[in-house]
Amino acid sequence: MTEVATMPVMSAPQPPVLPLAAERGLRHCAQIADCSPDLLERLFLRARAHQEALDRRQVVPTLSGLLAINCFLEPSTRTRVSFEAAEQRLGMRTITIGAADSSMAKGESGEDTRRTLESYAPDVIVVRSKEDRLPQGWASRSRCSIINGGDGTTEHPTQALYDRYTIEEAFGDHRDRNILFVGDILHSRVVGSHVALAAMLGTRVFCAGPAEWTDVAAKFRAYPGVIEVVELDAFLPHADVVNPLRVQFERGAGESISLTEYCAGWQINEARLRRAKPSAIVMHPAPVNRDVEISGGVVDSPRSWIQRQGGNGQAVRMAILEWCLGIDL
Ligand code: NCD
């Protein structure tokens, strides 16, 4: 009989594990709860400085050489491009992938996708997902900074932050303004972050729309009294910001309500805006469905801040990236 050499008992070697993001001095912007009122002020000041530097074409590349991975698991123009632009302006190297060109199209799970992306040691991953709370989950386990570029119908924190920045820019002060969201509130992650932001600041937001889309008690149960459902035409004279929302057909909105009925009752058009204060501005996170939730004429009118709002995304995201990557603003 051959003798089997007796080997000392050894456990299998384990691969090295990178420290968690917080241990590396990195922060997340996965939800509004990651911010504070004091941070908001500093972010906006920094964003204003970036805006001026962009106008002069003199941006300082404060994040030079760091790596950003933008993982967009849902379509996006503004969020994806403005993040990539913000990263490149700050000197970062960037890689951007979408759902169709990632291995998720072959069935790889979101969690395995995160682990794979993290194995290349990026400094930040910006992620957009169909799935509710996916970025928040990633942030709790991640070794790099996680920024939420919009998750399901839950949150879109960076959008709400630059919306607030745009409102302050439009009115030239920090006073609280009445923001009225109109339409598909139920499916809107943008409203999700605005409600969380209002709760953090001790303010309120208002919404109007068909009963099916404004039945928001369950969605906002964590924020009692922060969002108030109002009657559109009656509230318009009190609104400072009129913010129609895209009807989210891809999430099943529009199946139970006829578009003709919707446009008659809730479309933001020239006739309806005559009820608003002369100083009221129009915003929209975009993309817009022209002549559905908003008339083309209003989109292109002088009181529309939609284009400026979208452009502000770049400077505000530059400030958010810096804060997440450990720069004290
Ligand atoms: C929004 C989104 O994706 O949540 N768009 C955006 O990021 N600017 C709103 C929408 O899709 O309607």
Residue ID of nearest Cα to ligand 1 atom 3: 150
Q: Rounded to the nearest whole angstrom, what is the distance from the C-alpha of residue 23 to the centroid of ligand 1?
A: 32
**Both structure tokens of 66:** 């760091």
241 closest CA partner among 163, 161, 154, 150: 163
251, burial (CB in 10 Å: exposed 0-12, middle 13-18, buried 19+): middle
- Edge-to-edge strands, sheet with 93-98: 93-98, 67-72, 124-129, 145-151
Measure the CA angle with vertex 218, ends 215 and 221; round to 5°: 120
Predicted pLDDT at 81: 97
Q: Rounded to the nearest whole angstrom, what is the distance from the C-alpha of residue 209 to the centroid of ligand 1?
A: 18
Beta-carbon contacts of residue 256 (< 8 Å; ≥ 6 apart) = 212
pTM, rounded to two decimals: 0.94
Give the N- to C-terminal CA distance of the chain in Å, as an integer.
Answer: 73
DSSP-derived 3-state class of residue 319: helix
Predicted pLDDT at 251: 73
Predicted pLDDT at 4: 67
DSSP-derived 3-state class of residue 135: helix
Mean pLDDT in consecutive groups of 10 residues from the start of the chain, 329 residues: 70 89 94 96 97 95 98 95 98 95 91 95 97 97 97 97 98 94 96 98 97 93 96 98 91 78 96 97 97 97 97 98 96
**Both structure tokens of 201:** 């600041």
What φ, ψ does residue 166 adopt, rounded to 5°? -65, -40
79 CA closest ligand 1 atom index: 7
Q: Rounded to the nearest whole angstrom, what is the distance from the C-alpha of residue 285 to the centroid of ligand 1?
A: 6
Measure the CA angle with vertex 143, ends 107 and 157; round to 5°: 80
Predicted pLDDT at 157: 98
Predicted pLDDT at 249: 76
Predicted pLDDT at 293: 96
Helices (H), the chain: 37-56, 78-89, 110-118, 134-141, 157-171, 189-201, 232-235, 259-266, 270-273, 296-299, 306-324
313 CA closest ligand 1 atom index: 8
Predicted pLDDT at 252: 72
